[in-house]
């Protein structure tokens, strides 16, 4: 019977699809975008369909790496709010693997936590972690944290440290996006990653700017006018 310990010996590398600095995305004119956001976006960096294809590939890799013998479950932990769409699509695509494969399976349970560190397009430096429910349930369990974006990496380092206090058996991290920052290196590398993007503020597919743009299908680059229009004054 396969186990996570056994599969952890495999060489797990994030292997993201790298979007080069020279690529500035597709013109908005090729897409149907909500009228209320059209003037505040620069371009479509990653169209929705492309996101789905990449998540399918990630789901298949995660399934192959982490399939375990019943009744041990993988706890898929959604980092709200930004991670909710990636979480939902990733879990659903792992479920597809479970339906279609008769040689192995990956039972899952679903948990939700909430973090907040960004005000406007800057990290506030402090991280709020709101556990939804009793985190003692991750004790001795295998956990997969599912996050939308890793930027400085500080949020994930802090979150992992916090979760370690509840003594899980293993913790892995899947992030849809990592950012290639110009100023300094990201301090965290996820185990699974969809895309590595240039240093732009990106929105859509549940990624927000001050709670706006979550209701946008494609992952887009925010324009300066959008930064200004939806800016808030930190209280």
Set 21, 151, 208, 215: catalytic member = 151
Chain residues 65-124 in contact with ligand HPA, contact rule CB under 6 A = 118
Measured from the CB atom, the residue of 94 and 174 that comes closer to ligand HPA is 174
Q: Which stretch binds ligand HPA (CB under 6 A): 30-38, 66-74, 163-171, 197-205?
A: 197-205
Distance CA 79, CA 23 (A): 29
Q: Is position 193 an interface residue for ligand HPA (rule: CB under 6 A)?
A: no
Q: Rule CB under 5 A: which residues touch Mg ion? A: 82, 148
Dihedral angle computed from the Cα positions of residues 130, 136, 137 and 138, in that order, rounded to the nearest 10 degrees: 80
Pairing of strands 192-197, 202-203: unpaired
Residue 17 Cβ vs ligand HPA, minimum distance, rounded to whole Å: 17
Give min distance, CB of 118 to ligand HPA, in A.
5
Residues 6 or more apart whose Cβ sits within 8 Å of residue 113: 77, 78, 79, 80, 129, 130, 131, 132, 135, 159
Q: Is 36 helix (H, G, I), strand (E, B) or coil?
A: coil
Pick from 199, 170, 179: which is nearest to 12 by CA? 170
SS3 (DSSP) at 73: coil
Question: Between 188 and 201, whose beta carbon lies closer to ligand HPA?
Answer: 201
CA distance 228 to 28: 20
Residue nearest ligand HPA, Cβ-based: 151
Q: Which of 77, 144, 146, 149 binds ligand HPA (CB under 6 A)?
A: 149
Is residue 207 involved in binding ligand HPA (CB under 6 A)?
yes
Among 86, 87, 192, 201, binds ligand HPA (CB under 6 A): 201
Task: Name which of 169, 165, 170, 163 is nearest 140 in CA terms.
Answer: 169
Q: Identify which of residues 203 and 216 has a Cβ nearer to ligand HPA in the complex.
A: 203
Active site residue 151: yes
| Residues at the contact surface with ligand HPA, assessed by CB under 6 A | 118, 149, 151, 201-203, 207
Task: Tell me which residues are annotated as active site.
Answer: 151
């Amino acid at each position: 019977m396969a186990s996570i310990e056994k599969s952890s010996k495999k060489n797990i590398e994030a292997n993201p699809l790298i979007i080069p600095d020279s690529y500035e995305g597709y013109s908005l004119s090729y897409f149907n975008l909500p009228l209320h956001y059209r003037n505040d976006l620069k371009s479509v960096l990653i169209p929705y369909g492309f996101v789905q294809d990449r998540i399918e590939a990630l789901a298949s890799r995660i399934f192959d790496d982490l399939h375990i013998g019943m009744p041990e479950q993988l706890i898929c932990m959604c980092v709200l709010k930004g991670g909710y769409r990636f979480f939902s699509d990733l879990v659903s695509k792992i479920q597809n693997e479970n339906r279609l494969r008769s040689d192995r399976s990956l039972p899952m349970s679903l948990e939700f936590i909430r973090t907040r560190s960004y005000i406007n397009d800057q990290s506030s430096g402090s991280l709020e972690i709101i556990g939804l429910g009793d985190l003692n349930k991750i004790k001795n369990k295998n956990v997969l944290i599912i996050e939308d974006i890793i930027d400085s990496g500080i949020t994930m380092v802090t979150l992992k440290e916090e979760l370690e206090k509840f003594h899980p058996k293993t913790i892995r991290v899947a992030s849809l996006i990592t950012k290639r920052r110009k100023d300094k290196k990201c301090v965290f590398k996820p185990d699974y990653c969809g895309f590595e993007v240039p240093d732009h503020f990106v929105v859509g597919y549940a990624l927000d700017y001050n709670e706006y743009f979550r209701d946008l299908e494609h992952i887009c680059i925010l324009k300066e006018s959008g930064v200004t229009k939806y800016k808030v004054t930190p209280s």
